[in-house]
Amino acid sequence: MPESLRVSLVQTELAWQNPEANRAHFAELLQDLAGQTDLIVLPEMFTTGFMMAPEIHAEAYGGATFTWLQTQAAKLQAAICGSVATAVEGQYTNRFMFATPDGQMQFYDKRHLFRMGDEVNHYSAGLERKTFNYQGFRILPQVCYDLRFPVFMRNRNDYDLAIVVANWPAVRRKPWRTLLQARAIENQSYVLGVNRVGMDGLGLAYSGDSLAIDFKGELLIDQAEGSAFVETTPLDLNALQQFREQFPAWMDADEFSLN
């Protein structure tokens, strides 16, 4: 079992509702990561920005971006993930896709749809909480607004790393940063939060604030507000397991289940 996982956060502007331009842009940003990382995290709806026209811009599962993710994972020999507006059997989902170098693809559909942005009227909510296994780490995928729901994100001793991809506006940057750290601390887990920067087609500004956080809430990656960057840091699984053994707060957690 690997003792560490090199993770790369990719924070950048997005071309509004232009999948081809965004795929080309990310391909250029990622080319130097070959052999330098194990897992690459892109923002929510990284091919379009957070848009409410899925009937025009959503892609079929197995379509161009699906194939692009598989190609990039194989080329870079690293897992790569982010969410994409996806057409599924006559409906649309905000789908977190996780591609691995061996050609496999796993997915999670965003459970909590952002009603203040009208997402509830354009997309279907996911029905299932999922975890992925990759290089010894158990990973919980989440999308943006999911971050505000600690019961759904609660660690049931089933993950070591939570990944939250987002288009989280600058006006609410303090809750974004605070909640990411809170989820890491309360769940004794690593947390990666990847947001975008720049302005979208609706005039909303994004400050970024993409963070890598350890199980004690310490910041491993934290760049200047509004900056575009690609940064990599290792996550130490042994250190996480040792901390859980030394400070086993999880043993005193209350029992409950979700319907």
Q: Which residues are catalytic?
A: 44, 110, 144
Parallel/antiparallel/unpaired status of strands 211-213 and 190-194 = antiparallel
Q: Order of strands, edge to edge, in the sheet holding 211-213?
A: 132-134, 137-143, 161-165, 190-194, 211-213, 219-222
Residues sharing a CB contact under 8 Å with residue 63, sequence separation 6 or more, in sequence order: none
DSSP, collapsed to helix, strand or coil, labels residue 223 as coil
SS (H, E, C) 2-38: CCEEEEEEEECCCCCCCHHHHHHHHHHHHHHHCCCCC
Distance (Å, rounded) from C-alpha 9 to C-alpha 227?
A: 12
